[in-house]
Chains A and B, each alone.
Chain A
Amino acid sequence: MTRPCKQPRFINLITDGLRIALLAGADCFICPNPRPLTVGASYPGINQWRVLLGAAGPEPTSQACDDILRLRLMDTHRSPSHSPIPKLTERPRVLLISSPLFTLMEEEPYLEIYLDRCMNQDELASTSSHLFSPIVPYDSYLHTSSNQETIASPLEPSKEPSTDLSSVDLSFLPDELNQENTEQTLTEGKPGVEGNHEIQGAPSRVQSLNEKDSGGICTDDFSLSNSGLNPLSDGNSTLPSPENSSSGFFPLTSMTPLMPVTPVSEGSGIVPQLQNIVSTVNLACKLDLKKIALQAKNAEYNPKRFAAVIMRIREPRTTALIFSSGKMVCTGAKSEELSRLAARKFARVVQKLGFPARFLDFKIQNMVGSCDMRFPIRLESLALTHQQFSSYEPELFPGLIYRMVKPRIVLLIFVSGKVVLTGAKERSEIYEAFENIYPILKGFKKA
Chain B
Amino acid sequence: MNNTAPSPMSAIATSSSGRGTGKSTSFALELQSMMFSLGDARRPLHETAVLVEDIVHTQLINLLQQAAEVSQLRGARVISAEDLLFLMRKDKKKLKRLLKYMFFRDYKSKIVKGIEEDDLLEDKFSSSSNVNKRQKIAQDFLHSIDQTGELLAMFEDDEIDDIKQERMERAERQTRMMDAAQYAEFCESRQLSFSKKASKFRDWLDCSSMEIKPNVIAMEILAYLAYETVAQLVDLALLVRQDMAPKAGDPFSHAISATFIQYHASAESTAACGIEAQSNAIQPSHIREAIRRYGHKIGPVSPFTSAYRRNGMTFLAC
Contact = CB atoms under 8 A, between A and B. Distances in A.
Contacts of A393: 101, 104, 108
A395 B190 contact: yes
Contacts of A308: 124
A4 B203 CA distance: 85
A18 B193 CA distance: 57
Interface stretch (A74-82, A203-211, A261-269, A372-380): A372-380
B111 A398 contact: no
Given A321-B121, A396-B193, A379 B108 contact: no
A7 B187 CA distance: 63
Contacts of A389: none
Given A321-B121, A415-B183, A422 B111 contact: yes
A415 B104 contact: no
A395 B195 contact: yes
A384 B104 contact: no
A423 interface: yes
B111 A376 contact: no
B191 A395 contact: yes
Given A306-B124, A366-B114, A368-B114, A401 B107 contact: yes
Of residues A379, A380, A393, A422, which shows the largest number of chain B Cβ atoms within 10 Å of its Cβ? A380
B176 A376 contact: no
B304 interface: no
Interface stretch (B13-21, B81-89, B167-175, B293-301): B167-175
Contacts of B124: 306, 308, 321
Nearest to A385: B172
B175 A422 contact: no
Contact of A378 (B105, B108, B125, B183): B183
A376 B115 contact: no
B121 A276 contact: no
Contacts of B195: 395-396
Of residues A396, A420, A422, which shows the largest number of chain B Cβ atoms within 10 Å of its Cβ? A396
B239 interface: no
B187 A401 contact: no
Contact of A319 (B37, B117, B169): B117
B111 A381 contact: no
Given A378-B183, A395-B193, A422-B115, A401 B172 contact: no
B120 A331 contact: yes
Contacts of A410: 111
A116 B174 CA distance: 56
A271 to B, nearest CB: 19
A394 B191 contact: yes
A82 B272 CA distance: 89
B145 interface: no
Contact of B125 (A305, A376, A383, A394): A305
Contacts of A420: 115
A332 B117 CA distance: 7
B114 A394 contact: no
Interface size class of A (residues with CB under 8 A): 35 or more
Interface in A376-416: 376, 378-381, 383-384, 387, 391, 393-398, 401, 410, 412, 415
A306 B193 CA distance: 33
Given A366-B114, A368-B115, A378 B101 contact: no
Interface string A338-381: 00000000000000000000000000001010000000101111
A278 interface: yes
B180 interface: yes
B115 A276 contact: yes
Nearest to A332: B117
A335 B114 CA distance: 16
B192 A395 contact: yes
A278 B191 contact: no
B108 A398 contact: no
A306 B175 CA distance: 47
A13 interface: no
Contacts of A430: none
B227 interface: yes
Contact of A380 (B171, B179, B191): B171
Interface string A307-343: 0101000000001010000000001100000000000
Interface string B285-310: 00000000000000000000000000
Interface string B29-68: 0000000010000000000000000000000000000000
A380 B115 contact: no
A127 B37 CA distance: 62
A240 B111 CA distance: 41
Contacts of B120: 278, 331
Contacts of B271: none
B184 interface: yes
Nearest to A318: B117
Contact of B175 (A321, A332, A378): A378
Contacts of A396: 101, 104-105, 108, 193, 195
B169 A384 contact: yes
B275 to A, nearest CB: 32
Interface string B229-243: 000000000000000
A260 B58 CA distance: 67
Interface in B87-115: 101, 104-105, 107-108, 111-112, 114-115
Contact of A415 (B115, B171, B184): B184
A446 to B, nearest CB: 6
A87 B195 CA distance: 65
A446 B187 contact: no
Contacts of B112: 397
A415 B171 CA distance: 14
Contact of B121 (A319, A383, A397): A319
Contacts of B125: 305-306
B190 A394 contact: yes
Contacts of A305: 125
Given A394-B191, A447-B179, 6 more contacts: A331-B117, A376-B183, A380-B172, A395-B195, A401-B108, A420-B115
16 contacts: A305-B125, A306-B124, A319-B121, A321-B121, A321-B124, A331-B117, A378-B172, A378-B183, A380-B172, A383-B168, A391-B107, A393-B104, A395-B190, A395-B195, A412-B115, A415-B184
Interface of B: 37, 101, 104-105, 107-108, 111-112, 114-115, 117, 120-121, 124-125, 160, 168-169, 171-172, 174-176, 179-180, 183-184, 187, 190-193, 195-196, 227
Interface of A: 275-276, 278, 305-306, 308, 310, 319, 321, 331-332, 366, 368, 376, 378-381, 383-384, 387, 391, 393-398, 401, 410, 412, 415, 420, 422-423, 446-447
Closest 10 CB pairs of A and B: A395-B193, A394-B190, A380-B171, A380-B172, A394-B191, A415-B187, A397-B108, A306-B125, A384-B168, A305-B125
